[in-house]
Amino acid sequence: MGSARLGSGQWGLKVHHSVSISGGAASAARAGLLVRLVRIACGIVIGCALNGFVPREAAAQVPFVLFQPARQMEAAKPLARDVTGAPAISQRLDGTAFFVDDLGHMLTARHAVADCGRIVVSKEGRSVAARVVALAATDIALIKVPRTLGLAAVFPRASASAANDMVFAEAYDRLKPMLAHGGALGNAFVDATQRDPEHLVLRSNVTFGTSGAPVLDSRGLVEGVVSRRTTIDRVLAVDAAHAKSFLSAHGVRFQEDDRPQMSGTASRAHRAASISARVTCLQQ
Amino acid sequence: MLSRRPVACCCGQPLSRTILILRGTLVLSFGLFILSTATGHAQDLNFRNPEQAPPSWAQFAKLVKYRFEEWIAADEAVANRFRNWVVEHSGKENGPPPTLVVRAWLNPDGTVERVAFPAFNDAGATEDLRTILKRGNVGEAPPPEMLQPLNLRFSLNLRKP
């Protein structure tokens, strides 16, 4: 069925294209010019919107602008991926978790593992069942697998993240293609314009599946745990101080250090891949 | 032998498998060194023990240790054969030594270029372990300034569950 629809769609495009050409060179040129003008207008508006500025004139003229403020003001969204299958299949929520010791304890987002019938941690082709050890008041949770599947993360003794510091946070499932292209030093920035007592605010475009991912600073230390998106490019992460306090309260012996855990040029994406895994919540 | 000031910095966890439990402890050091015949102590020559090494080196060594343990404990033909040999010959005259020192050289892409360790009495087991330890990519590039080889001392305790 799927391939049949795709096939008909391709034929439809081809027929439309041939009609435009047969209409003559002048009409084709007019159509091309019109398409270019629309593209330019869209480009200007989208570009301005991404920079947080939309000219009033452009807003009045281009209908797409009306949608941009709505996207900017969307409600805070948890970043766990909702993968709902056929009605017979349980609802499935994919997030990210990372190891905090060598015993199999992992931190993730609370909303990624709360109210699950079953929790599965998957990494490098292996999947193991996990259990919830504790849920925090903030959006973090402690889960445990029978044994570790990766390197344990290291937290800073004192958080040193400052405005515009480059950090790295990404969904486990998105790391593999990133590594294939050589990795990354960072993909987000610390945003100091918005104050939050227990969160690290990031300028980031990470999306679903990133809930629970570690926020790695330039030293390879975990500065936070990704929680949710508040606007199109703002993400909240529970800060390292709260995460450490939560781990200590539950007797987890995590590593702390203020010294760099990676060389300056090493890919943070690779370190993220070493310490994190996909966490899947299967709901009835 | 390789580390005069050993630090048990990375106590391995039991790696459960259907047949065997592998208990590994690790002592690590970095780079080449020579033994002074006059004093019997190690002389530093492009050599660092963990206390002197940057944390980035120690983190990378932990990653290599974790990968080696995973590869030895993997459920596949060569690893199964090697573990069976260890269990069958453990404590015997021609069996494996109680501790195993592995020197590892890693490529910038994270693959294992070379490993060196004292040969077992069984050439097949020696080759199996060499195959296992060179089979994959540890997942990260070694810190560019890190001294190599990485000296990893494993204390293997294979027993039936």
Q: Is A118 on the interface with B (CB under 8 A)?
A: no
Chain B residue numbers touching A260 (CB-CB < 8 A): 54-56
The residue out of A41, A72, A103 marking a domain boundary is: A72
Q: What is the CATH number of the domain that holds A107?
A: 2.40.10.120
The verdict on A155 and A99 lying in the same domain is yes
* pLDDT band at residue B71 using 50, 70 and 90 as cut-offs: very high
The verdict on A140 and A240 lying in the same domain is yes
When divided into structural domains, chain B yields a total of 1
Over residues B144-153, the mean pLDDT reads 88
The residue out of A72, A89, A112 marking a domain boundary is: A72
More confident residue, A90 or B76: B76
* pTM, 2 dp: 0.71
Per-residue pLDDT at A51: 37
Residue of B9, B18, B56 best to disrupt the A interface, most CBs of A under 10 A: B56
ipTM: 0.72
The verdict on A157 and A240 lying in the same domain is yes
The verdict on A86 and A206 lying in the same domain is yes
Per-residue pLDDT at B19: 34
Cα–Cα nearest to A225, from A235, A237, A217 = A237
Domain that holds residue B17: 10-159
Per the CB < 8 A criterion, the answer to whether A277 and A128 are in contact is no
When divided into structural domains, chain A yields a total of 2
Give A138-160 pLDDT, tens digit per residue: 999 999 999 999 999 999 998 77
Give A106-148 pLDDT, tens digit per residue: 999 999 999 999 999 999 989 999 999 999 999 999 999 999 9
Domain that holds residue A24: 2-72
Chain A residue numbers touching B13 (CB-CB < 8 A): 102-104, 147-148
Over residues A158-163, the mean pLDDT reads 77
B69 occurs within a structural domain: yes
Per-residue pLDDT at A207: 83
Min Cα separation B149/chain A (Å): 18
Residue A19: how many other CB atoms lie within 10 Å: 9
B4 occurs within a structural domain: no
B84 occurs within a structural domain: yes
Per-residue pLDDT at A22: 34
Type and span of the H or E element at B37: none
The verdict on A6 and A49 lying in the same domain is yes
The verdict on A232 and A123 lying in the same domain is yes
User: Torsion over CA of A203, A206, A210 and A212, rounded to 10 degrees?
Assistant: 0
Per-residue pLDDT at A83: 61
B2 occurs within a structural domain: no
More confident residue, A36 or A155: A155
The verdict on A177 and A269 lying in the same domain is yes
Over residues A254-281, the mean pLDDT reads 92
More confident residue, B119 or A57: B119
B98 occurs within a structural domain: yes
Give A188-205 pLDDT, tens digit per residue: 999 877 777 889 999 998
The residue out of A39, A72, A105 marking a domain boundary is: A72
Chain B residue numbers touching A154 (CB-CB < 8 A): 55, 59
